[in-house]
Every structure is written in structure tokens, then in C-alpha cells.
Structure 1
Amino acid sequence: MVKNHMKRINAPKSWEVLRKNYKFITRPNPGRDLSLSISLNTVLKELLSKTRSTKESKYLIKHQGVLVNWKRCYDEKFPVGFLDVVSFPSLKEHYRLLIDEKNNLFMLKISEEEAKLKLSKIMDKKQLSKDHVQLNCTDGRNFKLKSNDPLLGQASTNDSLLYSLPDQKVKQVLKLEKGSLVYLYKGKHTGILVFAEDFKQNNVVFKIDQEVFETKKAYAFALGKEKPVITITNTTGKKAKHST
């Protein structure tokens, strides 16, 4: 049985919140990876400092409107997940949830144009019928494509899909391959941008300052080739570059 409450001291380490000033924190509704998602109430109160209490968060959500991935949200417990976009139409402000090198979730302010783009990582494919195939993504999103769709031939497990919001039309498949720029969002090297140098079974090989490392393909998010298709900040100032 899923608990309806959560003590701050037991909150995931990726939540950059005060642990000892209050006893409890809003637990997000089930459905997303708890270490890579956070409740809308906590986003408003502690990541963006838009409100000072849950009561204020509820008022803001109900009367002024808060959009998550360009859909109106009415529940303060709604889970805002990794790479999701939170928008405030009345303020004309948009933010994307990212993770930094200290394994902390944070909100990055972005433009309205970029807020209409979203990325999802392909987890697997499923044949629905003779004419349709479904792409299942790690964030719970699914895309139903016709079997003769050219995008389907390009897409493989662990690749990324770039699509527009709110119509959810796939614009591009970003391949996880040699030379790809990837964003590591889990594991020991969380929050950094690297170039995929090689692959060993289910691992991605990359270099940091000429030192070779490996991580699971499942921890690597393809973002393009030379530069990322969305804005990603690097908190320690390290820049992703090809090894020499």
C-alpha cells in the first residue's frame, strides 16, 4: 500500500529541500520514479519559491493556473518528472526540471519557444497490431506509430524522442550512438554532458579529462550531436567535449 505522507528526513537525496525545519513534505502521486520526480507543491514552495505554504500553492494552482507540459494541473501532489516543463501563463515564465552534478533536482528557466519541446527516452517497442507499433518511454509516455512510419525505422531502445507540446508530435529521433552528446541523469556521474566514445554490451564508454569511464545505457539520455537540442546547464563549469 502506497503511503500518503512522507517525512522530510526520508525524502530522496535528489530533493534539495530543508530536512529539519518541518516534519513532513508533500509526497507526489505514484506513477513516476520518486528519485527523479517531485510534487508540484514542493516545486512551487522550495524549488521556485513562488509560494510559502501549501495553502498558497493550492490557491495559485486553482485561481492563477499552473501548466505541466502545457496541460492545466489541479493537484498539488502531481508528480513533476525529470525534463518536465512547468509554466506560469500569467507570469509568462517557463521552467524545466533537470538534475545537477550533485544529484539534486532543480528548475531551469527557459524560453517559451523551448518550453514547447519535450524529450523522452525509449524504453521498448510493442507491436499492437499488424499496422501499429507503440513506443514506450521511461517517463510513462507512449507513442503509437504506423508500421510504415519512417520514424519507426530510426527509433531503437535507449534512443530519445524530441516532440512538441501540447500536440505531442514527434519531431526527431536522437540516436544513442558513437559521437552522440548524452546527458547522464543517473549513476556516479549524474548531471554532466559527455560524448559517447564507444559501447560495451549495455554500457556507454565516455571520457572526462582523458580518463575513461563506463555507465549503463539506461543512464544516458541522447541530446543530439554537437550541441544539445534543449538547454542544459552544467553547474561545475565543465564543458562536454570530444576526447583527443
Structure 2
Amino acid sequence: MKTKIMMASRKLKIPRKTNFWSVTPTPATHSKEDSIPMLIALRDYLKLGDKEREITRILNNNMVKVDGRIVKDRRFPVGFMDVLSIDTLENDYIIVYDRKGKLVIRQNAPGNKGLKLFKVVKKTIIGTGKIQLGFHDGKTIVTDRKDINTSDVLLMKIPDLEIENVLKIAEGDKVFITGGSHVGELATIKSIEVKKSSVKNMVYLNEGFSTIKDYMFVVGTPKYTFKTPEIEVISNDE
């Protein structure tokens, strides 16, 4: 489904006057507002073609993978922490937020090859000893591990989704801020204030600010750190 590029999500960091048409992301994984349609990712971000037909040709030739799996749909949505690979490019790419809350595509660190971080947003008991975990990107897995809770971040192999490590949210952890006035920043947890009411839990950071726990995405613990790209504030009128 086509849409005017002026109507695309304001979280996309793209020029609004270069191309007239965008596409509406398919309702698959990330929400419409928090995702980049594949056409926009390849055409406007990575500059792999000027025309929609050029991008369609790349996709039809099985040259594009998201989280290790081939994607052919130009409307397929990619979002925060997704890993994008293109056969003709040497490096993988990762989608993150910049410090203006825009979705950007950055080169992934070589040490992250074959790995991705998934934040647990839902935990459901589905049978004797079996638990279904739902992640921030819409994916799910079934596991017998009872030590995993919501807000935990799992380091998993892609595309098979095998758990390599569990990053618990705790004091001393390194986190990527996914919302609020400090979106796109890396910080270290100083303390966590647990509220007894329906008010959201607060997290205080060593860097001198605080924000709600919902915006915490753990990327490092004292024993392991997932390499995230440095995000700079770049002045633009997009």
C-alpha cells in the first residue's frame, strides 16, 4: 500500500522532498510509528537505488536479510535493534534511535555478528513447565526457563533464536534509553525505585538524570556488553 512520504512516521530520519511516495509498513513486527518500511530503509537510508523498481529487484534476488532471514517484501518493517544484512555490502547494520528520537541505521559492530538483543515485554505460562516470551519486536519463543522476567534482555543467536545470555536490569548495568528526553543516550543505572502503586518505576542514572523503567533497554552488565553504535546529534531539517 502506497502512502505519501509526507505522511510517513515522524520517527523516520529521511528527507521529505526527495521522493513523493513511501509505503505503509505491513502489520508484522514493530508498530507503524516505530518502524522503517524496507523500501525506505534501502532507498532513503542506505541509498541502494533511486527508484522503487531497483529496490524491488534487490529484494526479489534474495539479497536482503533481517535477523538472518530473507525478506522480499518492500513493506516489511524494521525497527529498534533489528539486524539488517545485504549481500552486496560487507557489514551488517543495526537500527537504533538517535538523540532526537529518530530511527537511524548504523553499522553493526563485528563482535555482534550473528547476535541480537531482545527485550522481554510479555511472559505467559502456556503449559506444564513451558513459558512463552514475547519480545519488543513482536517475535516470541517458548522456553522452560523460569528465571526470565519482563524487562530482561536476552542475547540470542539469529536466526535460530537460541538464548546465549540473559541481561537482568540491575544497578551497574549499561542501558540504551529508548524514550523520553534522553532517548538515544547510553547510561549506567545507579538505582531503581520500585513504586507500590500503579505509578511507573523510576530509574536513576550515574549521568545525573532519571527516567521511567519502561525506557530502559539493557545492553551491558559487569560481565558482558553488547557493542552499540555511538549516536551523535546532527542538525537537520528533516
Q: Distance in 1 between matches of 2:171 and 2:115?
A: 24
Q: Distance in 2 between matches of 1:180 and 1:232?
A: 17
Q: 1:215 to 1:6 in 2, by over 3 A?
A: farther
Structure 2: runs of 5+ lacking an equivalent? 196-200
Higher alpha-carbon deviation: 73-82 or 88-97? 88-97
Contact 2:97 2:104 in 1 (8 A): yes
Could you give the per-residue CA deviations for residues 156-198 of structure 1, whole angstroms, max 9, x where no partner exists?
2111010001221000010111111100011211100011111
Contact 2:62 2:71 in 1 (8 A): no
Could you give the per-residue CA deviations for residues 114-135 of structure 1, whole angstroms, max 9, x where no partner exists?
2311111111211101121111
The aligned counterpart of 1:15 is 12
- The 5-angstrom pairing of residues 62-77 of structure 1 reads 62-63=60-61, 65-77=63-75
The aligned counterpart of 1:242 is none
Higher alpha-carbon deviation: 23-32 or 55-64? 23-32
Contact 2:109 2:228 in 1 (8 A): no
The higher-RCO structure (CA 8 Å, 6+ apart) is 2
How far 1:33 moved relative to its partner?
A: 2.1
Contact 1:175 1:224 in 2 (8 A): no
SS at match of 2:39: helix
**TM-score normalised by the chain length of structure 2:** 0.87
Structure 1: runs of 5+ lacking an equivalent? 238-244
More helix by share: 1
The aligned counterpart of 1:205 is 204
Could you give the per-residue CA deviations for residues 176-222 of structure 1, whole angstroms, max 9, x where no partner exists?
111111000112111000111112232212243xx3x3222111100
Find out whether 1:223 has 2:219 as its counterpart: yes
Find out whether 1:159 has 2:149 as its counterpart: no
- The 5-angstrom pairing of residues 1-80 of structure 1 reads 4-31=1-28, 32-63=30-61, 65-80=63-78
Q: What is the percent sequence identity of the aligned residues?
A: 27
Contact 2:112 2:226 in 1 (8 A): no
SS at match of 2:127: coil
**TM-score normalised by the chain length of structure 1:** 0.85
Q: Distance in 2 between matches of 1:173 and 1:64?
A: 32
